Structure 1
Amino acid sequence: MKANAKNLFDALIYFPAFKTGLAIGAFSARMGWDSFTRHFMRLNAKLALFIRNAETKQDITDAGREWKRMFPTSGMQKIVSSDVDTVFAETHVWCPLRDSGDVQACYKVMEFDRCLLEKIGGQFVVLESQAEHGVKACRVAIRSLGKPVDDLIPAHVRNQAPPCDIG
């Protein structure tokens, strides 16, 4: 009975609220409302952490599984591989930023996941974003807290416009 109540809650309340929060976050990020976006996405993450009764994990594979558990449906996130320090996953949630080219807005909206991982015990990096043209699923990395991430090139850094050289 408890599993059925959870499924009903997820389908009728959590999933629509999640999608609405994602849309509001994407809109505010595109509008340049950075402070609002950051606080709004962190508030949503803290609600998810509370609703799902998140636990801090020491092992990065466990942290990846716990991160995945924070979402309304298990199909939203797919863990594709892991090593001793990093879990690699794909985000299959349709994103309102899809194909927009606005990877900076994506970075701002992903404050949600960074906040989740702060509690769970990891660091979150978007390697490939649905905001990039033609990308249907985000590729992300979750790295153990305290481990360097300089080998992981975030999508918002990789896609920065080159500086304008007037001269």
Structure 2
Amino acid sequence: MNAVTPILRLHQHRVWATHHLLEACGHLSEEQLHQPHEIGQETLWKTICHMYAAEFVWLAALQGTDDAIAPGDVAGKLPGNQEGEGAATSRTMLIERWQKLDQRWSAYLNSLTPEDLTQTIYRKSSSSYQGQRIGSQAMDVLLHVATHAHYTTAQAINMLRHSGLTDLPPSMLITLARSEAVT
């Protein structure tokens, strides 16, 4: 096993958990999606949009765009000539965009080599470093994207619970592994 293998597994889990989360969100009303919570990004809708935006901008950074923004944000650049694309306004729109983003992630991850993990990836900080261009190893960026998604998924599941949903989505890596082992 090389260093890429666990990275790929964490990202497989990220996609799997996100798909289950988005499916669970489909059982909520618009009012429940926008209900305030004292966790995450204040609402479930803002939290899942935040998850999408993080995956969007970090993939762009991994691909060489250090100041990318997610559609709907107000500053920076969108990779792939998507200037002017607004924020997602519906679950359907967000899911469609996420499916396209998942395809881009898949292409990137499928080409990943152990040598790629040591490359320096640059990103202009949006907050704590006040716009400074900061370099990190690709390995750290890839781990960050996966752990950020897992952490934020846990917040979103808590919001689902507080919104009254009782059939909560699976989110643990071991649950994914066991589902694959079932014959």
TM-score by length of 1: 0.29
Choose between structure 1 and 2: higher helix proportion: 2
